Structure 1
Amino acid sequence: MSLSNDKVKQYRTIGHDLNPVVTIAGKGLTENVLAEIDRALEDHELIKVKVSIIDREARKAAIAEISAKCSAQTIQEIGKVALFFRAAKKPHPKKSNIR
């Protein structure tokens, strides 16, 4: 799944105003956290995730794992916050962050 540069720019703009819907902390990336991220992507399509892991390499690995396991595209990484996109199978107009 590859997005055009225009779409990536549009999603970054939308993502600027979003708050993180999931925070990954001490226990790391568990199955429950992945399930919640998957549910949030299905509902909202574009989500922010806060990865509160101190080690930079571990944080990047967790972001890559989220992207792979949830079939989502990483739109942007800034510090400890990552923006992910995955098109919903049945988008709900009131829940979706994509305008």
Structure 2
Amino acid sequence: MQLNSKQRKILRSKAHNLKPSIIIGKSGLDEPVFKSIDECVDSNELIKIKFNDYKDDKSTFLCRINDRLKTHTVGVVGNIAILYRQNPDLDKRIYKIE
């Protein structure tokens, strides 16, 4: 599934009030961070990630996260990124986007 601009706009508005679920710090993207991101996206579908360190590498990190966890980058504002992965179970979906 690829997100179009209308869907990204809707998801950005839904993410506005969310606080960052994951903070990327000194350890960077190691296995526990990937596991935490995967668990957060499984339960919430839409999450925010804050980059405290590696701010210049955030686009590379987001590509690695998206490739490995099959997420989509909805948007990036400053050092905070919004990620989305639709739940495959229709009954458990939180955000209904078409």
Give yes or no for TM over 0.5.
Answer: yes
Q: Say whether the 8 Å CA contact 2:22–2:50 is kept in structure 1.
A: yes
Q: Say whether the 8 Å CA contact 2:25–2:54 is kept in structure 1.
A: no
Aligned residue-pair number: 95
Deviation at residue 66 of structure 1 after TM alignment: 1.1
Q: Say whether the 8 Å CA contact 1:42–1:89 is kept in structure 2.
A: no
Mark the runs of 5 or more structure 2 residues left unpaired by the alignment: none
The Cα RMSD (Å) is: 1.6
How much identity, in percent, do the aligned residues show?
25
Mark the runs of 5 or more structure 1 residues left unpaired by the alignment: none
Give the letter for the 1:67 counterpart.
N
Q: Deviations over 1:30-67 (max 9, x none)?
A: 111101100111110011011122441x2221121111
Name 2:8's counterpart in structure 1.
Answer: 8
TM-score by length of 2: 0.86
Name 1:63's counterpart in structure 2.
Answer: 62
Deviation at residue 69 of structure 1 after TM alignment: 1.0
TM-score by length of 1: 0.85
